[in-house]
Amino acid sequence: MAKNRFVIFFSILNSLLATSHLLPPHSEFFQQEMIFKSLARSVHGSIEFLSYSLLLLSGNLSSLSMFLVISILGFLGFLILQALWKEGIEGREIVLLLLLFNSAFGGVSIYAGEILVGSSTLYHCDLGTSELRQVISYPELGWYPGYHYFLLGPDASGESWIQISYTTLDRAVEQPCENIDSIFGELP
């Protein structure tokens, strides 16, 4: 019974970490979302890469598919590690080497995948005719850093801001308020 609890615990933990793929980018919590994604990637490591590769080849690369495949492969991987662990000292050495490799793979892919982001920059945009917008920019940290941009507009009461659009770019935009259309495309 204790073995089943152990398997259930790690399966639930694996699936909870895989929910990082289901979270839509949100301007207020974006740094926390990316930290959560980094934690998940450091744990999943090669399982996430394998899931991504399989789904890319199948042409079904969606957030839900990633969540499901990582959950399934993580569970199967854990069962394999558990079986190896029971094989004695050689099996335990293999498990430790696999866990070390997986952690290293995950750590490198965090930096290579530009998952970590720096502090945000907020731009207040007065577009005239009482049309106000805010642009929030988050720079990526990594080998080939890009930029995440959020466009916000006032809610109906004008007391708070709601997210209108989100995009990523490979380059920084010097004056986001003057380039809203080039960043986010035509907005209604």
Q: For residues 102 and 46, give the distance between their C-alpha atoms in angstroms, rounded to a whole number.
A: 6
Q: For residues 104 and 41, give the distance between their C-alpha atoms in angstroms, rounded to a whole number.
A: 11
Q: For residues 27 and 122, give the distance between their C-alpha atoms in angstroms, rounded to a whole number.
A: 11
End-to-end CA distance of the chain: give it in Å, rounded: 58
Q: Measuring CA to CA, which residue among 21, 22, 27, 23 is closest to residue 164?
A: 27
Q: For residues 142 and 12, give the distance between their C-alpha atoms in angstroms, rounded to a whole number.
A: 30
DSSP letter, residue 23: P
3-state helix, strand, coil in the chain (%, to 5): 55, 20, 25
Q: How many helices (H) and strands (E) does the chain have?
A: 6, 4
The pTM score is 0.84
Considering only CA atoms, give the Rg of the chain: 21
CA-CA distances (angstroms) from residue 177 to 103, 124, 184, 187? 41, 7, 11, 14
**Ordered per-residue pLDDT tens for the chain, 188 residues:** 556 787 788 889 999 999 999 999 999 999 999 999 999 999 998 898 999 999 999 988 899 999 999 999 999 988 888 889 888 888 899 999 999 999 899 889 888 877 889 999 999 988 776 678 899 999 998 888 899 999 999 888 878 899 999 999 999 898 998 888 889 887 65
